[in-house]
Amino acid sequence: MVGRDTGALGDSFDFVVVGAGSAGCVLAARLTEDPKVRVLLLEAGGSDRDWRIEMPLGVGALLESGRHNWNYVTEPEPELGGRRIDHPRGKVLGGSSSINGMVYTRGHGRDYDGWVSEHGCTGWGYADLLPYFQRAETSAGPRDPYRGSAGPLRVMPPDIAGRPLNAAFMEAGKQAGYPLTRDSNGLQQEGFGPNEMTISGGRRWSAARAYLDPARGRPNLKILSDVLVERVVFEGKRATGVAGRRDGQAFSVRAREVIVSGGSINSPQVLMLSGIGPADHLQSLGMAVVADRPAVGQNLQDHPDLTVQYWLKQPVSLFPATRFPGKWLTGLTWFLAREGLAATNQFEAAAFIRTRAGIDHPDLKLELLPLAFRPGSFAPHPGHACQIHMTMLRAESRGTLTLRSADPKASPRLQFNYLSDARDLETMRRAVRLTQEIVRQPALQAYVRDEIAPGPAGANEASLERWIRDNIATAFHPAGTCRMGGDPDSVVDPQLCVRGVEGLRVVDASIMPQVVSANTNAPTIMLAERASDIIRGLSLPASNLPYWTHPNWQTAQR
């Protein structure tokens, strides 16, 4: 049930889950499969019933509006000329799965095996986790042993053949010597292929729709929205509940265990507000220290994103749908039938590639959008144009998240330190040149006229580097601030229990020791599926399916 009354907060629950995002929705649904287990799910935002959430192509209007959004902004970034980067995060049932681009990507098997071999995260290898990806999803694509067919999360492939620019992008990749992949979420991530989406029946399929909607009627699940959790309550070193505010009224609630699932920004903030974090930082703000955990808020990672843009010489873009009467007709078609251009996110063609030899799995994602936006806005360039997003999948730069004050309503300080590691600038420079090479292939030259960006700024390497610093932004995938590890300095152990205290776990993308080589929504849902079994003392049998690595990765870039 969903409620706004606060009377239930006097009750005691088995679990309190803080945050109804991609992870929290999964946990609430899975844990209440046991009718004897009582769960309270708390969300700072409100209802997800909004046409801009439901309409896949409404994501731009959604982000522009600032609704359902924490509207975070970074501190001035030193390597970006002091620019501040917007970081929207979902403040709504479903969390960021209700405001994201709906792209479904799992990552490479090497990502997860690296969690084990490099970070000591026992039980989190690819063989352990593939069954949870499968359990989570119902794939509308061809039947495949890597895919799921009975899960709550609906995933659909795009229509590549019916979109000429998408088909040309694929063919250009092939002409440039890259492999094609039928399914980047199956055996082979690397290559050019379809970009799958969490969309079904022309509607966004968020974690709230997938997991919460079927569970809302359970008597052992209580969902409360518009709740600001200010801290975890402790008795000694044991978490016994949470305290916060709702409708201006203070509340507290007891639980056998507290699970923080606020995401990579809110989760470390809640831990620090609760006295768990770097002792010197907390004491400088006049806060009592429950556990000195210096790693909380450290290891902040992201996927930096940059776009190259081109004018088109054929009318194959979405530009007419952004102007009257096309915009009106596109919206009407969706409202009446949940069909047409607005029934997809339009990020339908993608590629996972390696920027150089010696890398064993892709470190760059390319995504084609048949529309080009003016710098820093969602206003399109006036005419038929397209842009290709270049997303750096494993940046070396690391940032920090710290508290601005002891006030729970104050946004934390976000310092991502983009491009602070010189290797990231070189990777993005390579990305631009590789993408330009792909665009020069005959398949895309049949459609492309002139380069908008970088344009003249790409004439030489020095001016290109300046252009990169002036224009690089984010793919909105923060991770790593409550990192999991086998070492005593990690924030959580492989059971996702916060070290130094009892009765407290963190379950969301903040526990990733290394951000995965993928959009983070699907991996976050997967790790919450895995966490729900860990909490219940269950485990799915490990998979024996392999993953593909380029046979000549040590000596060949493609």
Closest CA to 393 of 122, 110, 146, 158: 110
The answer to whether 390 is annotated as binding is no
Q: Which of 386, 394, 397 has the alpha carbon at shortest distance from 365?
A: 394
Q: Which residues contact 250 (CB under 8 A, 6 or more apart)?
A: 243, 244
From the list 108, 125, 107, the residue with the least C-alpha distance to 116 is 125
Q: Which residues contact 409 (CB under 8 A, 6 or more apart)?
A: 228
- By residue count, the chain amounts to 558
In b/e form, how buried is each residue of 335-353, taking b as 16+ CB within 10 angstroms? eeebebbbbbbbbbbbbbb
Phi first, then psi: give them for residue 22, nearest 5 degrees. -60, -35
The Cα-based distances of 66 to 52, 73, 180, 301 in angstroms read 12, 12, 38, 23
**Any binding-site annotation on 17?**
no
DSSP SS3 for 368: strand
Nearest to 40 by CA among 6, 69, 70: 6
Sign of CA dihedral 49, 52, 53, 57: positive
Query: Is 1 one of the annotated binding-site residues?
Result: no
Nearest to 64 by CA among 73, 75, 52: 52
DSSP 460: S
The phi and psi torsions of 314 (rounded to 5 degrees) equal -130, 150
| Separation in Å, CA 480 to CA 137, 303, 420, 486 | 24, 12, 17, 15
Question: Residue 497: what residue type?
Answer: C
**162 is annotated as contributing to ligand binding:** no
| Residue 216, number of CB atoms within 10 A of its CB | 13
Between β-strands 364-369 and 349-353, what pairing exists: parallel, antiparallel or unpaired? antiparallel
Identified catalytic residue from 108, 303, 381, 477: 477
450 class by beta-carbon count within 10 Å (0-12 exposed, 13-18 middle, 19+ buried): exposed
**Helices marked H in 201-303:** 207, 213-215, 263-273, 279-284
| CB-neighbour burial class of residue 435 (10 A; exposed 0-12, middle 13-18, buried 19+) | buried
Joined tokens for residue 373: 């936006």
Q: Does residue 454 have a cis peptide bond before it, meaning omega lies within 30 degrees of 0?
A: yes
Backbone angles phi, psi at 272, to 5 degrees: -65, -40
Q: Tell me 429's DSSP state.
A: H
DSSP-derived 3-state class of residue 219: coil
* 432: helix, strand or coil: helix
Strands (DSSP E) contained in 268-339 are: 276-277, 291-292, 304-312
Q: Is 512 annotated as a binding residue?
A: no
The SS3 of residue 246 is: strand
Per the annotation, does 100 bind a ligand? yes
Annotation marks residue 477 as catalytic: yes
Name the binding residues. Answer: 92, 100-103, 229
User: Which residues are tagged catalytic?
Assistant: 477
Name the binding residues for FAD. Answer: 92, 100-103, 229
